Amino acid sequence: MKHHLRVVLITYRGAELLDVAGPSAVFAAANRFAGKTLYEIIVASPDGGPVAHNSGIELVTVPASSIAIGPHDIILVAGADAKPLSAAMREPELSAILRSAARDAGRFGSICTGAFILGSAGLLTGKRVATHWAAVSEFVRLFKDVRCDPDALYVIEDRLWTSAGVTAGIDMALAMVERDHGAAVKAAVARQLVVNSHRPGHQSQFSDLLVAQSKEDERFAGIVNWLQASTSVPISVEQMADHVSMAPRSFHRHFVKSFGQTPAKFFEKLRLNAARKLLEANVPIADAARQAGFRSDSAFRAAFKTQFGITPRRYRESWHI
């Protein structure tokens, strides 16, 4: 690559500090590993000067309007909690800065709820994006012409890069490093930062287990933990119903109402999550399939690809470069 890239992190009063610090740490680590400037890092705001973030820590920023944006620039806007985010969405200068970036930058995008600011600037129509899982319903309500992926850690659409909450910005920055300088540099940066070498963008923001436990009611007390501990063996809906002392038809009906999916589908997702963890631990694919209760390798591969959007082999390789 002939030119180093310039990363401009756009922030504002009350923004999430980690949305700025996380990606900048990745790009700075890439510079240290290379022993030269791969990325010039600039923190900018609409007015410049000291900007207080959500933690109370101030960052010194340059005026974003003073930056001539070009094809070697990456422009990323930080997210925030509801009140400062709402104020930023109404800031005309910030919207103008981002529209200019969308037109001229090599890449532009957002960290976490920064997607709301891009949406308010009219930059996401017809696009697929990611944002923090807790903000998805509000995002969909406000931006009906944007496809928000509720599970993705980050989403890449041509020059547009958007990530989910906070630490997912680190994953997206690592993906940028890999695209620019290869997997070896990305892996070295991840080791320096003591983070996973790569959490692929399609990986869920949070596990089905946590979501299910948050929805579990008294009728299904303990069933999630029981199913999680039993992924290696076949369990029928009748056995699940018996576990909670309910008639099968009644159990099925109430389970779907509580969890938004059938018992069989939910159990399959738990088994796939178990297999995924085994692959992350470098267990061979056939062994991971059997230990997660799949009796057919082909059925496992098909189910895994459907659930996670990637083959088991590619997923395992992404964790073990």
Q: In terms of residue numbers, what domain contains 226?
A: 208-319
Per residue in 209-227, pLDDT (tens digit) is 545 554 556 677 678 888 9
Residue 168 lies in a domain: yes
At residue 59, does pLDDT exceed 80? yes
Is the pLDDT higher at 255 or at 5? Answer: 5
C-alpha 174 chain-centroid distance: 12
Last-in-domain residue among 193, 222, 242: 193
Q: Please report the DSSP string for 55-102 in residue order.
A: TS-EEEEEEGGG----TTEEEEE--B-HHHHHHHHT-HHHHHHHHHHH
pLDDT of residue 205: 45
Residues 178 and 213 in one domain: no
> What pTM did the predictor assign?
0.68
Residues 148 and 17 in one domain: yes
Least confident of 8-17, 35-44, 64-73, 162-171: 162-171
Per residue in 76-123, pLDDT (tens digit) is 999 999 999 999 999 999 999 999 989 999 999 999 999 999 999 999
What's 27's domain CATH number?
Answer: 3.40.50.880
Residue 11 lies in a domain: yes
Question: Strands, DSSP E only, in 96-243?
Answer: 107-110, 128-129, 147-148, 154-157, 160-163
pLDDT of residue 197: 52
Average pLDDT value over all residues in the chain: 88
Helix (H, G, I), strand (E, B) or coil at 279: helix
How far, in Å, CA of 171 to CA of 163, rounded? Answer: 8
Q: What are phi and psi of 278, to 5 degrees?
A: -65, -40
Residues 127 and 236 in one domain: no
Residue corresponding to tokens 């300088």: 181
How far, in Å, CA of 85 to CA of 19, rounded? Answer: 13
Residue corresponding to tokens 């101030």: 58
Q: Closest Cα partner for 286 from 265, 270, 304, 269?
A: 304
